[in-house]
Structure 1
Amino acid sequence: MPATPSTQPGTPSEEELRSLDAHWRAANYLAVGQIYLMANPLLREPLRPEHIKPRLLGHWGTSPGLNLVHTHLNRVVRNRGLDAICVWGPGHGGPAVLANSWLDGSYSETYPDVSRDEAGMARLFRQFSFPGGVPSHVAPETPGSIHEGGELGYALSHAYGAAFDNPGLLVACVIGDGEAETGPLAASWHGNKFLDPVHDGAVLPILHLNGYKIANPTVLSRLPEGELDALLRGYGHLPLYVTGADPAAVHRAMAEAMDTALDRIAAIQYEARTDGSTRRPHWPLLVLRTPKGWTGPAEVDGLPVEGTWRAHQVPLDHVRDDPGHLAQLEAWLRSYRPRELFDEHGGPAADVLACIPDGIRRLGANPHANGGLLLRDLPLPDLDRYAVPVDKPGTTRHEPTQVLGGLLADLMAATADRRDFRLVGPDETASNRLQAVYAATGKAWQADTLPVDEHLARDGRVMEILSEHTCQGWLEGYLLTGRHGLFSCYEAFVHIVDSMVNQHIKWLRTTRALPWRAPIASLNYLLTSHVWRQDHNGFSHQDPGFVDHVLNKSPEAVRVYFPPDANTLLATADHVLRSRDYVNVVVAGKQPCSDWLTLDEARTHCARGAGIWEWAGTDDGGREPDVVLACAGDVPTQEVLAAADLLRRHLPDLAVRVVNVVDLARLMPAEEHPHGMPDAEFDALFTRDKPVLFAYHGYPWLIHRLAYRRAVHPHLHVRGYKESGTTTTPFDMVVRNDLDRYRLVMDVIDRVPGLAVRAAAVRQEMADRRTRHHDWIREHGTDLPEVADWSWSG
């Protein structure tokens, strides 16, 4: 429905202000109680040391500001009938968000044992930062949350991701002034240049300036107001300011600012959706400036606390053993007048509940914050439409990602009306050969355009910004609110989001143990322009280590795939796009490479994850192999097949087995990873005692780490990338890292018993070819014809 341009009543009554203050005081009381109390939650008796937790953990400093924001969001959601969620950037303000979820009843609905009464309040307090309880920050366990408290810097990109293709949704986003100093947050301000007011929802950033981080002042809080205003306007926002320490004045100012901001948002959406305006809007932004640790102790032991960095965590930290601190804590708690806020059973009083929305309008109950509830299966097309013909292995060549681009284009077309699939990447869609998608949708863009520009569209669903952090944050927010997507990136630079993927994997692992959290679509990476074909960009673009990073994480949540050709990439993409609750990393080339498997063979091979390519080896007729040539990755596969071809011609009596690995986790023991192979299956594939030469796409030691428990490990020799890169020819990259076909043949001769003497002439020929390659590329600038023109002849 189009937004209405009419304004809502913006002046709150005195009664409404009183109820807002009651709700805010109740939330503050509950926040303090969670940090300190393990008994006597309503102070029905004087505080004693045994009522206090032995370990005081939590963050008080940001909590009063978050409570204020939550209280006033409740008001506008209720008054305007909004569909809204909030991303809480200062994630260590967990006490505040938990308190508000308990007050609106969503916490007790999710966790019935934490009832909305005195007994439930006691459980709420005791469980906070307590063994067997809940974390100190906003976490997956927190109803209404899509943002983990450890994700400093990602709040605003998550908020924009949640708003994309959600035209009826308001996403409020609280940004801490410490968080505002991070690089990811600085880039994410530009999300407003990609937000389509017709098809997308709205993001309301709330910059909370309370002055301090853990021990230092924050940069934005110390800027002169004119400079801060110029900065925020330069980012394309119209700032509204709420400043002060007097609760009554701040409540009135906050209510008026919220109403003004939402009126502006409604007007922007009405102009775009009804009047057809195409001008880029300047969206509102709130700047909330309140003291750190507001309403807490003004001084402790003669030192100022409220309004300083000392309020960041636990202002009174010796309550159990210092009678003065204990008395000060009790006075602090009673200053909120809890008898006015909670009834005789410990439930919230009517005044406290007056501002809270009903049902799923509550911030703790909105289904967009439990996106799996809204998730629909993707209408994935039949893969046969895109499969490349393979009459004989290795005799034709295609660009795998270009083939995949055709599938993604049709998927974009099939989701044009439902708008629940997006492709994100840092300015590399066409570079990564996925440009076919532009036939179905353009690149999202709300800023100015020039006649020379191509494929820009206000309603586009391809997202490109040269910030991997922002791409990752957008996609995470999109997935967490019930949609699907794919992140395409140069392999070397996906490392930029290492810490972000850490947090998402932790989120997924935690939510698997929460039955109320519905599964979400997997976070899918397509890593291309990879290490072996960055010969033109050179050493700076050559790093395959993201896979090592991901496979260090929770095995139940991570998957890594190395499809060796176009058809296996299609089968892999079909699988990962259908999956739920994983981080899937797919590494595939964009340059022409050999086609090895038909689509049916690729489907079967991908389902196995690892298998023998009988047509490539010479261990037929049930003969035990003399050597196993294994490979994972498109270029390593080609080099292994070329080595097998050389062995077939030069050492025809040698029994060679070729094993290709698509799913890297198959190398792990079954007890360590759900995709791991039992020992018997692994031994049947790789043998227990024969030499195994493994050509791997990335750093060799990862294969050793995955397979170190296997019987054959003493006989395993891995070739891979060893940080020898430069600007050179494609084949020279593998030669420089000893992954080339000639080195692999030499390795076989060196490791198969009895071959060293019998095949000395063959080994010498292989070494000579490496020398000839070295001389050739320096004279001609291209690879040897026997390499450049090679195709499988078996």
Structure 2
Amino acid sequence: MPKAEHQDATALSDEELRTLDAHWRAANYLAAGQIYLMSNPLLTEPLKPEHIKPRLLGHWGTSPGLNLVYTHLNRVIRARGLDALCIWGPGHGGPSVLANAWLEGSYSETYPDVPRDGAGMARLFRQFSFPGGVPSHVAPETPGSIHEGGELGYSLSHAYGAALDNPDLLVACVIGDGEAETGPLAASWHSNKFLDPVHDGAVLPILHLNGYKIANPTVLSRIPESELDDLLRGYGHDPIHVTGDDPLQVHRAMAAAMDDALDRIAVMQQTAREDGVTERVHWPMIVLRTPKGWTGPAEVDGEPVEGTWRAHQVPLAGVRENPAHLRQLEAWLRSYKPQELFGPDGRPTADVLACVPRGAKRLGATPYANGGLLVHDLPLAPLDDFAVPVDKPGTTLHEPTRVLGDLLARVMHDTAARRDFRLVGPDETASNRLQAVLDVSGKAWQAAHLPVDEHLEHHGRVLEILSEHTCQGWLEGYLLTGRHGLFSCYEAFVHIVDSMVNQHIKWLKTSRELPWRAPIASLNYLLTSHVWRQDHNGFSHQDPGFVDHVLNKSPEVVRVYLPPDANTLLSVADHALRSRDYVNVIVAGKQPCFDWLSMDQARAHCARGAGIWEWAGTENGGEPDVVLACAGDVPTLEVLAAAQLLRRHLPGLAVRVVNVVDMTRLLPREEHPHGMSDFEYDGLFTTDKPVIFAYHGYPWLIHRLAYRRTGHKNLHVRGYKESGTTTTPFDMVVRNDLDRYRLVMDVIDRVPGLAVRAAAVRQRMADARTRHHAWIREHGTDLPEVADWTWDA
């Protein structure tokens, strides 16, 4: 609909217009007050320097526009009885969202020490960006929020994740024009091709163009409107424009735009749900153009501020020291006429609250923003239903992720009625051997279908898009609104979401400290197609460093598991899917892998997190001469092959084999809840014997985890050291000195007395490596003794 029709619309009565403007002015006053005032919140006396905070922190520029959106969302929620959630994308819009939560009363209900009166207003102002207070951006502490205000680029994908399988929910999403320049946001526009009008809710994007970022103009605000419309229509949206700087005209236009958008959404959902229409719709969106720092100081010291980049943060600086700035600040604050908006006791007037919804309909009180209140336990079947039989270790092979796929398919089947489980990934569900789920639920797809397509469904619950950012954002939004899921990804490319998982971990850490936030289902990663079996794709696909990134984060939140076979993967996945408030990283291969443990053994081993495999060692109840440790499926194979070689060539050597499933077990107990005490660690690894540790990833991580242990000086780690190419599977471990022959040589080099006594054995191991190099160059396959190896001890 053309912009002018909304500018000329008269949908609001004069009374509605007056009360909406009162609410908006009150929110603007509260937003500015939070940035500046430490006392005198109602301006009951002339403003003095001592009323001003010593450090002025916060972002004014985006706040008036966000306040406008909040006000008008209140209106339509109340008028239509909507269940709604809003994702506030613009970076540091905290003053606005906090102001509105306080006005509607949800803030005081969450924090009774900040009541909705003059004393509470003073506390609201003082705590903002103040030591011991609250952050300057929308954060876990903010009622009604599921999106960290500093996460530029992810608002729209979070909004779609929240809308999935919530058919009665409206998710509004304010997208800042700076945020709109990010790659993740650009990709997330395509989320509308995955939104099912029947089973999912609606997303209403609101692109807020106020013209500037911190210091530069924004791209979308400067291109011609026709070009912007072409872009947004190309993304699959029908834009509705609201533009202006006259508050009353903008209120009328915004109300008309909101009504138009919601009327269209209702028709689209009705035709899909009642008439069975399956054609993809072009969802409405709103393009809101208002000045940056609207209603703030027009000029400061002769320089234009309102409508420029200078309004981004604090328009008037040095207010304590500059009397002219202090007078200008007081005039600005009094321009909102706070005496009309708040009673003598500081409570908002009836006019201000006329548009505010009631109870859980309020944006700050919606349970959808506190998903732990809504989450149900997953119906997980007994693991024995999926376990592979293991009569003897190391003689049969299975593809671990294919076995896991059967469990996930059962979960998908058993959640079909309530639709609260999703599998997401970048075009890799079948590649990662999880395709059993597709027999239960296809891949969500609202765009065109061709006869050659497979597993595409309008109502599918598997989500694939070749954007790791969008997958992550969808799943975060889904989990934060009370559902479950798993993100399957090639190991090397999960790094694309490093900053996103970092923010989610911070969110969970803070949320766990807030008693009013209920625990949500954990964010679960399955990293497969991993470094050791990317021999076909080569060096670009070989990077195991995501584990390092995650283990740098809050220990109470992160968990990392490296199951060595199919049954341990089942056990770990079962635990992860049942857990709450964690980020679980599971690294497991999709290629055929030896079965080492029965299901009962796997349960016990995974519960320990790290343990001795007595059947693989030769210590026979005595003290070991050397410890062979391993973490990861391929390192486990190489350690057991090395143990077999030692058994054959050095039968008198007492070898202990230790497998680590839970990487955080290596940390001291005081550093991580899963960590081992020194007593446990020393008992497992010894204090004085050589430890040869074959690790899936970068070797220095093991040293970092164990550096405080007594026996650290005896620890020698082999792992990936950035030596990769397109080659054979075994050549990958040889190139990185993780192979069985190298491990045997390490034992000989480090066990006292073996260097001379076992020199011939060491030479045979070195010769085997030389023979390997010649063989693969002639035959293109691994040595038969490697390719056909089984455990025969």
Please, what TM-score do these two structures have when normalized by structure 1? 0.99
Aligned to 1:145: 145
Q: Is the 8 A contact 1:10 1:259 kept in 2?
A: no
C-alpha distance in 2 between matches for 1:708 and 1:260: 63
Aligned to 2:198: 198
Aligned to 2:631: 632
Gaps of 5+ in 2: 1-8
Aligned to 1:599: 599
Deviation, 1:344, is 1.4
Mapped pair 1:751 → 2:750: yes
Aligned to 2:719: 720
Aligned letter for 2:769?
R
C-alpha distance in 1 between matches for 2:750 and 2:29: 71
Mapped pair 1:736 → 2:715: no
Aligned to 2:522: 522
Mapped pair 1:265 → 2:272: no
C-alpha distance in 2 between matches for 1:275 and 1:345: 54
Q: Is the 8 A contact 1:164 1:200 kept in 2?
A: yes
Count of paired positions: 785
SS at match of 1:673: coil
C-alpha distance in 2 between matches for 1:443 and 1:391: 37
Mapped pair 1:100 → 2:106: no
Matches within 5 A, 1:205-284: 205-284=205-284
SS at match of 2:744: helix
Aligned to 2:693: 694
Mapped pair 1:648 → 2:609: no
Aligned to 2:704: 705
Aligned letter for 2:667?
M
Deviation, 1:10, is 8.1
Q: Is the 8 A contact 1:10 1:255 kept in 2?
A: no
Q: Deviations over 1:333-388 (max 9, x none)?
A: 00000000001110100000000000000000000000000000000111101100
C-alpha distance in 2 between matches for 1:344 and 1:266: 43
Deviation, 1:716, is 0.1
SS at match of 1:712: helix
C-alpha distance in 2 between matches for 1:620 and 1:241: 78
Aligned to 1:163: 163
Aligned letter for 2:360?
I
Aligned to 1:679: 678
Aligned to 1:340: 340
C-alpha distance in 2 between matches for 1:23 and 1:10: 19
Mapped pair 1:792 → 2:791: yes
Aligned to 1:5: none
C-alpha distance in 1 between matches for 2:22 and 2:607: 59
Aligned to 2:5: none
Deviation, 1:497, is 0.1
Aligned to 1:316: 316
Aligned letter for 2:60?
W
Q: Is the 8 A contact 2:10 2:252 kept in 1?
A: no
Q: Cα RMSD between the aligned structures?
A: 0.6
Q: Deviations over 1:695-730 (max 9, x none)?
A: 000000000000000011000000000000000000
C-alpha distance in 2 between matches for 1:697 and 1:303: 59
C-alpha distance in 2 between matches for 1:793 and 1:721: 28
SS at match of 1:547: helix
C-alpha distance in 2 between matches for 1:499 and 1:416: 32
Deviation, 1:288, is 0.1
Aligned letter for 1:20?
L
Deviation, 1:657, is 0.1
Aligned to 1:351: 351
C-alpha distance in 1 between matches for 2:389 and 2:248: 73
C-alpha distance in 2 between matches for 1:149 and 1:233: 27
Aligned to 1:88: 88
SS at match of 2:347: coil
Aligned to 1:437: 437
C-alpha distance in 1 between matches for 2:398 and 2:788: 14
Q: Deviations over 1:92-114 (max 9, x none)?
A: 01000000000000000000000
Aligned to 2:6: none
Aligned to 2:360: 360
Q: Is the 8 A contact 1:390 1:597 kept in 2?
A: yes
Aligned to 2:578: 578
Deviation, 1:620, is 1.1
Mapped pair 1:37 → 2:37: yes
Q: Deviations over 1:93-137 (max 9, x none)?
A: 100000000000000000000000000000000000000000000
Matches within 5 A, 1:559-574: 559-574=559-574
SS at match of 1:683: helix
Q: Is the 8 A contact 1:405 1:434 kept in 2?
A: yes
Aligned to 2:4: none
C-alpha distance in 2 between matches for 1:395 and 1:784: 18
Aligned to 1:479: 479
Mapped pair 1:783 → 2:770: no
Q: Percent identity?
A: 84
Aligned letter for 1:784?
L
Aligned to 2:509: 509
Mapped pair 1:493 → 2:487: no
Aligned letter for 2:722?
E
Aligned to 1:664: 663
Find runs of 4+ consecutive structure 1 residues off by over 2 angstroms. Answer: none
Aligned letter for 1:541?
H
Aligned to 1:331: 331
Q: Deviations over 1:601-647 (max 9, x none)?
A: 000000000000000000112x1100000000000000000000000
Instruction: From the superposition, tell whether residues 733 and 10 of structure 1 become closer, same or farther in structure 2 (CA, over 3 Å).
Output: farther
Aligned letter for 1:231?
L
SS at match of 2:716: strand
Q: Deviations over 1:76-98 (max 9, x none)?
A: 00000000000000130100000
Q: Deviations over 1:707-758 (max 9, x none)?
A: 0000110000000000000000000000000000000000000000000000
C-alpha distance in 2 between matches for 1:452 and 1:380: 34
SS at match of 2:370: helix
